[in-house]
Amino acid sequence: MSDAGGLLVAAALAQGCIEAALSGGKAAFPAILLLACHLSVGVFLLLRGRNGRLAPDRLTLRVFYGAPEVLFAAGLVLFLFSFIYALNANMDYVQRFIAGGGRLRLAADSGRERWTAAARFLPLMAVDVWMAAAVRLRYRRLTRRILGPHPALRTAALPLGLVSSLLYALSFPSFAHVEGIAPLAFLCLVPLFLALDSVSLPWGIFCGTAFGVVQSILVNYWLGTFSLVSLQFCVLIAFLDYLPFLALTLPLARRFPDAAWLLWPAAWTAMDWLRSLGFLGYPWGMLGTTQYRFLALIQVSSVTGVWGVTFLMVLCNAVLAHSLMRRPGARAHRLEPMITLMAAFTVVLGGGALALFRPASPTGSIRLSLIQQNADPRKEDYAETLRTLRRLTDRAMAEKPDMVVWSETAFVPNIRRWSAEDPKAYPLAALVGEFLEYQKGLGTWLITGNDDYELKRDGGTEERLDYNGAVLFSPGGERVATYHKMHLVPFTEYFPFQKQLPGIYRMLKSFDVYLWEPGRERVVFRHPAVSFATPICFEDAFPADVMRFVRGGAGLILNLSNDYWSQTDAEAMQHAVNAMFRAVENGRPLVRASASGLTCVVDPRGRIVARAPLYSEEALTVDVPLAAEGLTLYTRWGDWFPVCCLAAVACAVLGAAWMAFRRRGSPRSLTR
């Protein structure tokens, strides 16, 4: 043990020298914290070692066996984050931010920043791997005593969890495959479930949480360039989601091992639903969305929402894992889980096939011209962007559209504000005047994303509230209606705790985060051909939000987005496939108009019927059939399915508590 402690101390000191050379004494806090943890564990093992032998107490043994893997997991998370975040070094707006004195230190380009990340974390991770392997090889007898008669699987628990995180990420559109490897979703959680079944409760919670955090980084890697703080908070939210989820569900699975195959999908579905609620709501990376091309399967969304597809995916994984587990005293060759799984898929696929073959009977159609200008509004070249929008719109007008659709933030200057100013005194006022004159000359409806505001008067004070909005103009140039985005991205668009947590608010502002006010009204726009709603950007990822628009009378879901900033096909596809489920859930066509990303039209069965190429200037004109169907069961009943899953888990918790109470109060326990 003293040898292991000495190795960790030496590695930490050597890495400290590398860190000082890399950053000139201005090391990143996470790297310093990781070094301190390695040094602390090394000193502890040195002090507890006795002539190179193991100290017999339980704490020392747990540190000796668990510390290398805990340190490795922490190093992996920090390395992945740093490696991905290095992309910012190539971003123009980041360079302007750095030049302006922003709180950020990056190398001159992404390549050098990634080498820095590798030099910062990989040496310590290599030491952790070597130490974990050496401990188990050198002390094999003690390992068997600590880990039980089957130490191999328990030793591999963390690697199995990390394998699951990789398979999970690859089932989505990803850096490896732009459309995702959907079949992986049927088995990606099997290694994780096997690992959780084979280890102690605390270690299982740790391995499961490590899975959740790592898969979140791998799925959402493109957030590294969304803003300067978004990926950090995404990782934090994943940790806050998975830690309590594992702490609650894993003990239940241990308490009811024969029902764990059914408990896991119910709890997982409930967790996915809960993480779509409230200020921290971020329903991204839900396993059900990987099956967007499996049309017969996803038709169940019209009854259960996307939550039903997620349930089936996790059920399949849990049943496969259950069939591979062997517990002493358990009934061999149990068929109930497999029969249940087959029956569920038979019913769902049968119903889905019937829905797909049912002929559509649209009430009419609307011709839309979707303008994809392929420009980044953060560069603030608003006049050049307007010229591009005009050129593409002029091309589209040859097809006589009923409405022209510009994306989120297509035209940034605040129309409400600058239209009231003197165009000779203010360049933005002149640009807004040019836009209004051009729109009126089109002779057709136009909707565009735009910054908006209102003045709130409270006594003698006046406060300006800024919104991310969508504005509809009539053929005569009248501003008909405005929608303000209601569900804002946490921390990067919205932070409601300015007074309660002023330190975090100041930190967000120092990283150039622009915060909006959330809208208060679900506006349904009225066009002569159709009533429609415009969820903005990632609002189309929230099933309940879009469902409420349809309940309010929307016959068409028209999403305005801007995915240009990511410059990654994976992000564009992930965003689009999330949105596709809103069409199936509500039985309404979905249209996406993106500044760049995936501009497309999706029919009520989830088929992409038209699309524009990614990251290019395009004007896509398409006739969109309007659905004649009434409200789907999902639109009528809402999120009943995840609520039922949550209720089932709550009943299991109460049942376990009651059984524990009965056992504690039994005469047998009282005589002990």
Query: Are 85 and 12 in the same domain?
Result: yes
Same domain? For 350 and 236 the reply is yes
Burial class of residue 29, CB neighbours in 10 A (0-12, 13-18, 19+): exposed
205 vs 154: CA distance, rounded Å: 13
Phi, psi of 101 (to 5 degrees): 90, 20
Is 408 assigned a catalytic role? yes
What pLDDT shows up at residue 332? 46
672 pLDDT tier (thresholds 50, 70, 90): very low
400 has catalytic annotation: no
Within a domain: 70: yes
Is the separation of the CB atoms in 409 and 595 below 8 Å?
yes
CA dihedral 290, 293, 296, 298 (to 10 degrees): 40
Establish if 200 belongs to a structural domain.
yes
Of 119, 138, 155, the residue at which a domain comes to its end is 155
Question: What is the arithmetic mean of pLDDT over 291-314?
Answer: 97
Residue 606's pLDDT is 94
**Which residues constitute the domain of residue 230?**
158-358+639-672
Is 70 exceeded by the pLDDT of residue 665? no
CA dist 580 → 315, 478, 483, 535 (Å): 23, 32, 22, 13
Shared domain for 270 and 373, answered yes or no, is no
Closest C-alpha to 121, from 159, 83, 161: 83
Q: Whole-angstrom Cα distance, residue 407 to residue 612?
A: 13
- d(CA 113, CA 84) in angstroms, rounded, equals 10
Q: Based on the domain organization, do 580 and 614 belong to the same domain?
A: yes
CA angle at 476 for the pair 472 and 477, rounded to the nearest 5°: 50
C-alpha–C-alpha distance, residues 335 and 261, integer Å: 12
Q: Are residues 376 and 285 in the same domain?
A: no
Residues ≥6 apart with Cβ < 8 Å to 445: 402, 403, 404, 472, 473, 474, 475, 527
pTM: 0.91
Tell me the Ramachandran region of residue 271: left when phi exceeds 0, alpha when psi lies from -120 to 50, beta otherwise: alpha
Q: Are residues 590 and 479 in the same domain?
A: yes
- B/e letters for 302-324, b = 16+ CB within 10 Å, e = fewer, are bbbbbbbbbbbbbbbbbbbbbbe
* pLDDT above 70 coverage of the chain, percent: 88
Res 24: pLDDT: 47
Least confident interval from 183-187, 201-205, 316-320:
201-205
Question: Cα dist. 638→242, 585, 633 in Å?
Answer: 25, 10, 8
Sequence letter at residue 649? V
pLDDT score for 576: 95
Q: In terms of domains, do 313 and 244 share one?
A: yes
Which tokens sit at 91? 């971003």
Q: Kindly state the average pLDDT of the residues 131-143.
A: 70
Annotated catalytic residue: which of 37, 485, 618, 645? 485
Residues near 654 by Cβ (< 8 Å), separated by ≥ 6?
A: none
Does residue 329 surpass a pLDDT of 60? no
165, 32: one domain: no
Alpha carbon separation from 358 to 269, 353, 557, 636 (Å, rounded): 29, 9, 22, 21
- Output the average pLDDT for the chain: 87
Assigned domain for 512 exists = no
Cα–Cα distance for residue pair 573/598, rounded to 1 Å: 7
Confidence of residue 529 (pLDDT cuts 50, 70, 90): very high
281 and 174 within one domain: yes
- Does 340 share its domain with 195? yes
**In whole angstroms, what is the distance from residue 212 CA to residue 252 CA?**
19
In a domain, 492, yes or no: no
Q: Considering 37, 188, 234, 537, which one is annotated as catalytic?
A: 537
Is the residue at 496 inside a domain?
no
For 52-84, give the DSSP string: TBPP-SHHHHHHHHHHHHHHHHHHHHHHHHHHH
Banded model confidence at residue 670, pLDDT cuts 50, 70, 90: very low
User: Among residues 19, 408, 539, 571, which one is catalytic?
Assistant: 408
pLDDT tens-digit readout, 409-452: 899 999 998 988 888 888 999 999 999 999 999 999 999 999 99
530 and 663 both lie in a single domain: no
3-state secondary structure of 230: helix
Question: 211 and 94 in one domain?
Answer: no
Q: What is the rounded distance in angstroms from the CA atom of residue 556 to the CA atom of residue 530? A: 7
Domains identified in the chain, total number? 3
What letter represents residue 41's amino acid? V
Q: Kindly tell me the sign of the dihedral angle through the C-alpha atoms of 14, 103, 596, 542.
A: positive
Instruction: For 172, list phi and psi in degrees, rounded to 5.
Output: -90, 165
Q: How far apart are CA 393 and CA 454, in angstroms?
A: 29
Q: Let me know if residue 28 belongs to a domain.
A: yes
115 in any annotated domain = yes
β-strands 531-533, 525-526 pairing: antiparallel
Residue 491 lies in a domain: no
Quote the CA–CA distance of 393 and 396 in Å, as a whole number: 5
Give the pLDDT score at 554: 94
- 207 tagged catalytic: no
pLDDT given for residue 149 in this prediction: 45
Angle, CA of 192, 293 and 239, to the nearest 5°: 35
What kind and span of H or E run contains 203?
A: helix 201-219
How do residues 108-134 score in pLDDT, each as one tens digit? 778 888 888 888 899 889 988 988 887
